[in-house]
Amino acid sequence: MSRFLKEKYNILEAYTPGEQPRDGEYIKLNTNESPFSPAPEVAQILKKSDIERLRLYCDPCSTELKASLASLYNLESENIFLSNGSDDILNFAMMAFSDKGAIFPDITYGFYPVFAELHGVEYEEIPLKADFTVDENDYISKDKLIFIANPNAPTGMELPLESIEKIIASNPDSVVVIDEAYVDFGGTSALPLISKYENLLVVRTYSKSRCMAGARLGYAFASKAIIEDLEKIKFSTNPYNINSLTAKLGVATVNSNDYYEAKCKEIISVREYTSEKLREMGFTVLSSKANFIFAKSDIIGGEELYLKLKERKILIRHFAKDRIKDFNRITIGTKEQMDIFLENIGEILKER
C-alpha cells in the first residue's frame, strides 16, 4: 500500500474470490462455474469473429444484445441494463440508490458489504432464521436499499415469490435488488413484477447458467427510470463496458436458449443425486435451488473437509464465518465429477 491511498480505501477490506488455480489439475467445485462448455453456436461465432473489427470501439449501448434479451424475456430494450459481470450492476446499484442506507442478510453474497464499505454506505446485516431462511418480516417497510439474493448464496435456499412481492410492495420509496444469479436452476424469478413495481431491480448473470464466467457479462431488468439511472452511472464510469466479442457471444447464447435449459436440467438432477448421497453419508444438506449445495458433516469440520479434499485435488468452498464454519459450499459439476467427489468423501470419512 502506498502512502498516497485515500484513508477510506486504506481501511477497506476487499472481496476475496474463490481460488482459481492455474495448474488446472483440480476438480473445481468452488466458484459455481458451469462444468459445461458454452453452446456450439457460441463457439462458432467466436471462430468466425473478425479480429480486424477489434480496432474499433464497441457499441456503447450494446443495441443488438439488448434487443435479443428483450425478445427472449418479452420486455423492451429500455428495461434492460448490461454490464461487465453482474458484480458491476450490484456495485452501481449500491452507488446509485443508497442514500437511506442498505440492508441485506448476514449470510449472503460477500460482495454486498464490500460495495457498501466502498461507497461509505451505512448498512445492516440482518440474521437469517436458525434454519437459514430469510424472514420476510425483517424487510417489510424498512425504506432502505434492500439486497436479496434469491436463491440465496451460499445456502442455495429460496424465498417464495409472494414474500419477495410483499417486500417490494412495502418499500415503495426504496429500490429492492433481487440478485437472481442462480434462478435458472429451479428458482422462481421476480421478473414478472417489473411491470408492476418501479422500485424493483432484478440482476442476472451469464457466469453460472450460461456457462460464460470468463466472458464477464451481467444483465438486469427494471423500470425504464431505474435503467436510466444505471446508464447514467455507467456512462460516467466506462461507456464501453461490454466488449464487442462478449456482446456477440451474448447474442449467440440467447439464440441457444434450449441448450442452456437442457444443461440446467442436468445440473438440477445431479444436484438432487449428490444431495441424496451426502445425506446417506450423514450430512445435513440444505435444500438448494442453485447449482451448488451447502452441506455439513457431523463427523468432520468444514475447514478440515475442505483441506482434505484439496489434498486430493478437489476444490470446494469453505467460509470462515462463525455461523457457517461447519458447512461447505459445493458446486455441482458433471455426474462423473460428483461421483469422484463422493468417493473421496467416503474415503475421508472412513479414515476417521
Ligand X SMILES: *Cc1c(COP(=O)(O)O)cnc(C)c1O
CB of 215 to ligand X, least distance (A): 9
What are 214's three cell numbers?
Answer: 470468463
DSSP assignment letter at 198? T
Tell me the C-alpha to C-alpha distance, in Å, between residue 307 and each of 301, 303, 328, 347: 10, 6, 11, 14
Is 109 near ligand X (CB under 6 A)? yes
Does 218 bind ligand X (CB under 6 A)? Our answer is yes
Between 205 and 241, CB nearer to ligand X: 205
Q: Give the distance from CA 57 to its chain's centroid.
A: 28
As a dihedral over the C-alpha atoms of residue 320, residue 209, residue 274, residue 324, rounded to 10 degrees, the angle is 20
For ligand X, which residue of 69, 80, 93, 153 counts as binding (CB under 6 A)?
A: 153
213 near 207, Cβ under 8 Å? yes
Read off the C-alpha cell for 187: 428458482
For ligand X, the binding residue among 34, 205, 223, 337 (CB under 6 A) is 205
The reply to whether 91 sits near ligand X by the rule CB under 6 A is no
- How many residues lie near ligand X (CB under 6 A)? 13
In the sheet where 283-285 sits, what is the strand order?
Answer: 283-285, 292-297, 327-331
Q: What does the block give as the cell for 347? A: 474415503
Which residues are within 8 A (CB) of 76 and not within 5 positions of it... i.e. 6 or more apart?
Answer: 70, 224
180 binds ligand X (CB under 6 A): no
Instruction: Tell me if 33 contacts ligand X by CB under 6 A.
Output: no
181 lies in the binding site for ligand X (CB under 6 A): yes
SS3 179: strand
Run of H or E including 304: helix 302-311
Query: Which residue stretch of 10-18, 80-88, 193-201, 231-239 sits at the interface with ligand X (rule: CB under 6 A)?
Result: 80-88
Only one of the segments 22-30, 79-87, 140-148, 314-322 lies at the binding site for ligand X (rule: CB under 6 A); that segment is 79-87
Task: Verify binding: residue 149, ligand X, rule CB under 6 A.
Answer: yes
Write down the least CB distance from residue 109 to ligand X, Å. Answer: 4
Distance in Å, CB of 80 to ligand X, minimum:
15
How many residues appear in the chain?
Answer: 352
Binder among 34, 79, 86, 241 for ligand X (CB under 6 A): 86
Of the ranges 6-14, 83-91, 134-142, 250-258, which one interacts with ligand X (CB under 6 A)? Answer: 83-91
Quote the least distance from Cβ 184 to ligand X, whole Å.
Answer: 12
Q: Which residues bind ligand X (CB under 6 A)?
A: 32, 85-87, 109, 149, 153, 179, 181, 205, 207, 213, 218
